[in-house]
Amino acid sequence: MQTHVIVKLLTGSEKHGLLARSLNPESDHIELYRGDESAPESHRFDAISFIKILGKPNLADAFCEDEFFEDVTTVTGDRFHLRLKRSERLESGFYGYPTDLDSDFKSIFFTNSGLRQRHHDRPIGEMLTQSGLVQPADVDEALTEQKKLREKRVGEILIEKNHLPETVVEHAIGNARKHSNSRNRIRVGEILIEAGLVTRKQVDEALASQTSGRRKRIGAILVDRGLITEEQLLTALARKFELQVVDLKQTPPQPAAVRRLSREMIEKMQVLPLEIRGTRLVVATSNPTDPTIIENLRFVANCPIELVVASARQIAAQISEIFASQAGAVEELIDELDDIDVQVEEEVEADKVTETDSKVINLVNKILLDAHKRGVSDIHFEPGMGPLPLKVRYRKDGICTQVHQISTTYKAAIISRVKIIAKLDIAEHRRPQSGKIMIKHGRERIEYRVEITPTIGGQEDAVLRVLSAARIYPLDQIGFSAKNLERMRAAIQKPYGIILCVGPTGSGKTTTLHSALSEINQPDRKIWTAEDPVEISQEGLRQVQVFPKIGFTFDEALRSFLRADPDVIMIGEMRDPVTAKTAIGASLTGHLVFSTLHTNSAPETVVRLIEMGMDPFNFADAMLAIVAQRLTRRLCPECKEPYHPKRTEYDELVEAYGREQFQRDEMPAFSKGLTLMRAKGCEACEGQGYSGRIAIHELMANSPQIKQAIKHNSGVLKTQEIAIEQGMSTLRMDGIQKIFLGLTDLTQINRVAL
């Protein structure tokens, strides 16, 4: 009798045909006749997801005690609700049978290679109740708690964990609503941070708690309540998902299996590779309910995955034991390298790789990852002259700090290693070189911009800008005051015109522009960006990397954009008069244009552009807003302490702001209740008293009076005077406002604003 089948391959394609011989699960392949072919095709089980045996279902003896129901999901994304038989135990896979007379198949054979997930359709609470481990009332209480966790808000978590009085929180939220656009959602966490009631770390912890609470499963809640043990839960889960329970004390992992996954993947997912069975990698997990585990592991290991279940405690202990012998912190690795001589030339030749080379490679990798994890913006490799060591300094929050000192033996090798992975010429020591490094850490890609500069004594410095920290912030989370935020939002909603963000290198201009673009990034708008380099990637934008060395400049990119049907254009920097003229021209012909410029203030930007040869009348009509920006150090939220300022200190703030403007802006008056914040120093900020940075802004929006000042080339002071009269706060004014909010101090404002 001929057997018609559909064979679903792991690639997703289907093969329709007749079995050449009966399906034998003990074999490793099937043979299939297709069409008029005289010879059958052979397909191995490890390339097959499932084999559907077509025909009318036989439900005459169905639903007997030997059967149970199960939901099955394959790696090809197919899902089935089936009957399975307890008496059928096969090594290569399992059979499933239909539950409906209208099904088009008699049975399905699932291979182990093609399985993503299988589990009984009974809830885990019901299984635990029927096993006599818990009472129905316990399950009901756990379900109620689960519902509360899933509905819990961040504000509630912050109030509970930090013992905040509800009246104080309500007062802070009420004040924020008064100055907020009612159309925009108010983020309670940000309000409480600005009010100094909680720290950024506490908000992040509350968000993590909220996320973990929403994901918390009924079994974990029952374990937390002490109603069942973790081992009892794992046994029930293993039964539900038809998985084997293993005792890791009796089942040590094979080294070959451990090597199939990276350390980062093992530690991040808390899984343990145990052995390799044929083509399958057997992996232990304590979380079989996570449907992504098999897919992620299969993608990384590039082979079929078979899950088994073990306790989280045993898995963590085994992982710790396996990696205990590996090098830990960068500092420890540096100590190990003190007396090892490295010849840089050997690094280039693949056939001369030695243990010494591996340690230098590992050291550079560890420094790159360490800087990324610490949130560093720049890494400085500074070789000393002669016998002096190589110093490694990190720039964080605008401040350079020495973190490593490496023996002189490795100076040349480390710089050469940096040049190699940046694809630079290691034989060139007399000229500067620029490049970039891309590394992959787990599932994260990290980019470093590299600059090699020759220094005296035949040495070379390497400075790496870490681009991984760049991300998109909502416009209301980058430090704009309520007034500036309203003006910025009004400007970016215009259909055409030009918006400039100005300031020195590293002042956050690109971040601000991307925040603005994210606000207007909608499917009905075509947005082009030209950047050098592309530091922030944003879905929905068409982003271009310019290459000046081959003649692909900002001006060339801009001209190309104008022929590519744009609505919005962002030019990373207006470096020359040609680009500036083209950008202003584009803004006058129906396009919204964003760009940056290296100037000190908003009014100065107007004068600089006119001096570059821009037509004052065109620019006056095109300009929507100019934002000058600086980044200043933020007082550490963990340890900053309140104090009552002396009258002399208060008067210094008033004079720095401008006495008359201070009164017009209704700034806080001096009183016994006036409180400011100052730096103290704690473990969290490494004793510095500062942690992170905040932005201060100077936003000059266009107006009829500003237009006249531009057209008449009135100069910086006159333009600034008009802008202040119309509500602009200078950088110092905005900084002093943030001092009164308890976010920073005058010392830091004086460092970045005149």
Q: How would DSSP label each residue in 408-436?
A: GGGHHHHHHHHHHHTT--TT--SS-EEEE
Q: Which pLDDT does position 632 carry in this prediction?
A: 92
Query: What sign does the dihedral 25-28-32-38 (CA atoms) show?
Result: negative
Q: Is there a single domain that holds both residue 527 and residue 573?
A: yes
Task: Return the percentage of the chain with pLDDT > 90, whole number.
Answer: 26
Q: Is there a single domain that holds both residue 564 and residue 688?
A: yes
Q: Is there a single domain that holds both residue 335 and residue 449?
A: yes
Has residue 233 been placed in a domain?
no
Has residue 45 been placed in a domain?
yes
pLDDT tens digits along 381-404: 999 887 788 899 998 888 888 888
What's the N-to-C CA distance of the chain in angstroms? Answer: 92
- Residue 475 DSSP label: G
Q: Is there a single domain that holds both residue 418 and residue 292?
A: no
- Residue 604 DSSP label: H
Q: Which pLDDT does position 126 carry in this prediction?
A: 59
Chain centre distance of CA 512: 18
User: Tokens representing 104?
Assistant: 């088009």
Has residue 216 been placed in a domain?
yes
Total domains in the fold of the chain: 5
Burial class (CB in 10 A: 0-12, 13-18, 19+), 746: middle
Report the relative pairing of strands 41-44 and 48-54 from DSSP bridges.
unpaired
Cα–Cα distance, 459 to 381 (Å, whole number): 11
Phi, psi of 714 (to 5 degrees): -75, -10
Q: Which of 264, 295, 323 is the last residue of a domain?
A: 323
pLDDT tens digits along 103-131: 888 899 988 878 777 765 555 555 556 66
Q: Which pLDDT does position 342 carry in this prediction?
A: 37
Would you tell me how many other CB atoms lie within 10 Å of the CB of residue 454? 15
Cα–Cα distance, 719 to 33 (Å, whole number): 84
Q: Is there a single domain that holds both residue 660 and residue 701?
A: yes
Q: Which of 61, 91, 121 is the last residue of a domain?
A: 121
Q: Is there a single domain that holds both residue 569 and residue 712?
A: yes
Q: Which pLDDT does position 719 carry in this prediction?
A: 93
Q: Which pLDDT does position 337 carry in this prediction?
A: 46
Q: Which pLDDT does position 707 carry in this prediction?
A: 93
Q: Which of 121, 143, 177 is the last residue of a domain?
A: 121
**SS3 of residue 499 by DSSP:** strand
Q: Is there a single domain that holds both residue 335 and residue 211?
A: no
Q: Is there a single domain that holds both residue 306 and residue 359?
A: no
The CATH number of residue 304's host domain is: 3.30.300.160
Cα–Cα distance, 733 to 628 (Å, whole number): 13
Has residue 229 been placed in a domain?
no
Cα–Cα distance, 442 to 124 (Å, whole number): 32
Cα–Cα distance, 287 to 82 (Å, whole number): 24
User: Tokens representing 597?
Assistant: 């410029």
Q: Is there a single domain that holds both residue 132 and residue 189?
A: yes
User: Tokens representing 127?
Assistant: 């299984």
Q: Which pLDDT does position 347 carry in this prediction?
A: 33
The CATH number of residue 608's host domain is: 3.40.50.300
Which domain does 260 fall in, by range? 246-323
Has residue 234 been placed in a domain?
no
Q: Is there a single domain that holds both residue 308 and residue 365?
A: no
Has residue 129 been placed in a domain?
yes
Q: Is there a single domain that holds both residue 624 and residue 689?
A: yes
pLDDT tens digits along 239-267: 666 677 888 888 888 888 888 888 877 88
Task: Name residue, tokens 């990698």.
Answer: 281
* Helix residue ranges, H only, 259-410: 263-269, 292-301, 312-323, 330-336, 344-348, 355-374
Has residue 235 been placed in a domain?
no
Q: Is there a single domain that holds both residue 596 and residue 738?
A: yes
> In the chain, which stretches have pLDDT less than 70?
1, 36-37, 60-66, 119-134, 138-139, 142-143, 145-152, 154-159, 161-169, 171-174, 176-189, 191-192, 194-198, 206-242, 289, 291-292, 295, 299, 324-359, 468-471
The CATH number of residue 384's host domain is: 3.30.450.90
Burial class (CB in 10 A: 0-12, 13-18, 19+), 683: exposed
